[in-house]
Structures are given as structure tokens and as C-alpha cells.
A and B are shown apart, each in its own frame.
Chain A
Amino acid sequence: MKFVIFDAARMPFITRNISTAWAAGKPGVLTKDSSAEAANRKQVCLPSFARPHGGQCDEYPFAGTRQGGAGAQEHEVPARENQCQGGTLSTRYRAAGIKDGDDYLVVIIHPDQIASGPFQGVDIAEDQTCG
């Protein structure tokens, strides 16, 4: 099984969204599907999504997967984390040879660094780099 790693030390709120979505029954194995992404993004993280702390909307399962779209869990996250998540997916998809139609397991490392509560406007990441 191929996998994509998210580091909670770098993305504490993204990994909080992932881990709480898992707890709510969302899948840990996703299927890359770029062709679904545009349609999925019209169903989640809409402009009406409240961003009271100036962050961005993150969704899980990811919009670029077959499991994304309607019903995905939405959280506000720092823009830096959303950008870091995009770079992580780009890098890992390429390195692991994950192509459209491929399943992969989402993995969180440094789970002790997962944010304990919602984003309140402060980027609390212990490591604010992505690379």
C-alpha cells in the first residue's frame, strides 16, 4: 500500500482535521482522482464557509480524491498549512508514483503535535517549515 505522510509538527490543524474526520468514520485510505477535484471543490469549502480567524478552508477526505466532495469534513486552518499540505501531496504523489485511480493510506507522524482545539488565528506549529 502506498502512503502519504502528514507531519503534525508542521501541520497541527490539518492533522487535527484528518484525525477527527477518521474518528467520525471518514476513510484512512483514499483514491487519487484529479478529475473529481473541480466538482468536489464546488461541494465543500465554499465561499460561504466561515473563516473567522483569517485562515483557509481545509477538507477531509481531500478534494483531489474519489472520497472527497459532499460530506467531507471542513475546518479552518492557517494558510501556511494549506499550502504545505498541497506541497506535501505534490511531492509524495510523485515520489510514491501515486496516480489517478491509485489507493493510498494517509499517515500522521508526530501525533502528539496535533492541535488540541480549533484554529483560533495563531499558527501554533512547532516547525513552521514545510521542506
Chain B
Amino acid sequence: MSQPSHAVDLDVEVNHGQIYIYGAAPWADDPNSDAVLRALDDARQSGRFVGVSDGLVDLVSPAQWNFHAPMRVEVWPLEPPADDDAWDQVVDVDLDVPDGRVWFEGSGGRDPIPCDVPPGTYRARVSGRGYAEVADGAEGLDSYRLRLWPRDGDTGPRSRKVWFGYER
């Protein structure tokens, strides 16, 4: 299988160097949820720069902000073939999308941007690139991709590739 069964291109917002990705908002039942802060701690302390907490994924980017960041969302029937060389950062995480809607929310109080996908319990591959360019001050050259495929059980996050700039 070399093609996704579902693909959408959209613009999302990076703000304060982060995009929150979730299919079920941790604050739906608890307005005081600090999941975004704990996901950030996980992202940084793990060295993955993609963190998880209560089902929310925090994608940390060297781009401070980009309100028109390209995000490609793909749904695959099986784990997709690797193309890590084409990206600066690649991390696999679990992501549940019970209602068939993934939300992308820029940090700092931005409105979330929806993307409809088939409802499911997914393994997700989060990728980003253009990092060296934006770290050097260029604007709008960062882009992202979220690949989803069905998972059977729960698995911890796995870093496939870490941007060299985070290791400096």
C-alpha cells in the first residue's frame, strides 16, 4: 500500500513555537486541565520535541509563529512507508480521534482549526521540516505532516528523527 486512503492539505497556526494536536480535548471535562503544559514538559524532557499528555500532542517547532503553516493530513490503512530523510523531525505517537475530527491549535490562545478524518484509534507520525531556515530567521518556510493509521493497542511515543538544531 503506497497511497493514503484519505488526504487533506490545510493551513494551521504555529504560535509560541507549538501546535497542539488532539482528537478529544483534555479540557472537555476539566476546564482547568494543564495538559498542554505537561505535554510541553514531555516534549522537552524526552528530547523528542513532540510531547503527549492526556491524549493531546504538543508539536514543538523552532518557528516562533506562522499563521499559515502547511499541514498535510493523511490516513493510511497500514503503517506508511518511511520517508524520514525528507523531514527534520519525525515522531510516532498514539492519537485517538473518537469523533472523526482532529484539531490543530496554535499555542497562546489561538482558535483551533478542524480537520475531519474517519473516527478511529490511530498511531500518528508527526513530521516537520524547514527548521534550519526558520531558525535562521526566515518566515513561513516551515511545514508539517500528520500521518494516521489504525493501531491495535497503546504504544509509547517513539522518536524517529530529531532535528539537529535541538541538540545544539
Q: A-side interface residues toward B, CB under 8 Å? A: 32, 34, 37-38, 41, 45, 47-48, 54, 56-57, 62, 64, 79-80, 82-91, 93-95, 97-98, 129-131
Contacts and interface: CB of A to CB of B under 8 A. Distances in A.
B38 A131 contact: yes
B138 interface: yes
A129 B108 contact: no
B17 A83 contact: yes
A56 B17 CA distance: 10
A95 to B, nearest CB: 5
Tell me the interface secondary structure of chain A in the complex: helix
A91 B16 contact: no
B44 interface: yes
Contacts of A130: 37, 40-41
A97 B27 CA distance: 12
B155 interface: no
Contacts of B40: 83-84, 87, 130-131
Nearest to A83: B17
B44 A89 contact: no
Given A45-B64, A47-B138, A47-B139, A86 B108 contact: yes
Nearest 7 pairs between A and B by C-beta? A86-B16, A131-B37, A86-B107, A131-B38, A86-B108, A47-B137, A93-B109
